[in-house]
Amino acid sequence: MDTTRVGKNIVLALNNQYNLYIHLMMTGKLLWNYSKLRERHIRFSMELNGKNTLALHDIRKFGWIRLIKKENFSDARVNKDALSISFEDFKNSLNLRKMKIKNALLNQKIVQGIGNIYSDEILWYAGIEPLRPANSLNSKKIKRIYSAMKKVLKMAIRKGGTSMRDYRKPNGKKGGYYPIRRVYQREGEKCARDGAIIKRIKIGGRSAHFCPYHQT
C-alpha cells in the first residue's frame, strides 16, 4: 500500500479504486500494531494483509478519515502542496494577498501543509517579519521564504515531525524536530543567529514568534 502526503492530509492508496485520506488535526496520531485497540480514544482501526493493524488515536475527536475515489483526486491540490508548488505559483499567490505573511503561510488555499510551528520557523530562516503584508514582499524576499519553506519541511520530515504533547510517530516514538526548532516557543531566549531576544505576538488569534533584529 502506497503512502503519501498532500498538505496536511496523509493519503493511503488502497488496492482498489479508492484512496484513504487522514487528517490528524490537533491531537490525532496513527499507531501501528497498537496493543490497546479497545482504548476509548481509538477512533478507527483497519487490518492490513491479515496481520497488521493501523489505528487512529485522537483524544479530542477533531481528526477525520475519508474514503475518496482515485478518479476524483484533484491534481490542483497536489500542486499547492508546500513541497510541490512552483515558485511562480507561490509568488503570484502572495502578490495578490494583503494579509500578513504569517497568515498567508497558514492559508491552505495559498499553500498546503504549513501550520503554526513551521510558519514561524520558515520566517525565521527567511529573515522576514511575520507582520509584513504578503503583497509588500519583492521577488527576492519571496524567494527566501520559498527556499526556507522547502528547507524547514524537509528537515521536519527527516526528524519525523514535531512532538510537543500528543503527536507520536506510528511506532510510538516522538518526532525529533521540536528540540532543534529555532524560534517557535522560544520567547525570551536569545536568537541563535544574532543573539537578540525572541519575541512573541498575536496575529489573527495565533501566536507568532520572531527575532526583532534579523527578521525585517
Residue 169: the pLDDT is 63
Residue 216's nearest CA partner among 136, 153, 159, 118 is: 136
Q: List the chain domain ranges.
A: 2-73, 77-210
Set of cell numbers at residue 171: 511506532
| Alpha-carbon distances, residue 42 vs 50, 52, 56, 135 (angstroms) | 19, 16, 6, 44
Residue 78: the pLDDT is 56
Per CATH, the homologous superfamily of domain 2-73 is MutM-like, N-terminal (3.20.190.10)
Q: Is the dihedral of CA 80, 28, 156, 181 positive or negative?
A: positive
CA gap 96, 104 in Å, rounded = 10
Residue 176: the pLDDT is 86
Residue 74: the pLDDT is 60
CA gap 76, 209 in Å, rounded = 31
Q: What is the pLDDT of residues 16-55, one digit of tens each?
A: 788 878 877 777 778 787 776 567 788 887 777 777 888 8
Residue 99: the pLDDT is 96
Residue 136: the pLDDT is 97
Which residue ranges in the chain fall short of pLDDT 50? 76
Q: Is there a contact between 106 and 208 (Cβ–Cβ < 8 Å)? A: no
CATH of domain 77-210: 1.10.8.50
Residue 76: the pLDDT is 47
The beta strands (E) that lie in 14-170 are given as 18-23, 28-32, 42-48, 52-58, 64-69
CA gap 140, 138 in Å, rounded = 6
CA gap 129, 198 in Å, rounded = 12
The beta strands (E) that lie in the chain are given as 2-6, 9-13, 18-23, 28-32, 42-48, 52-58, 64-69, 199-203, 206-210
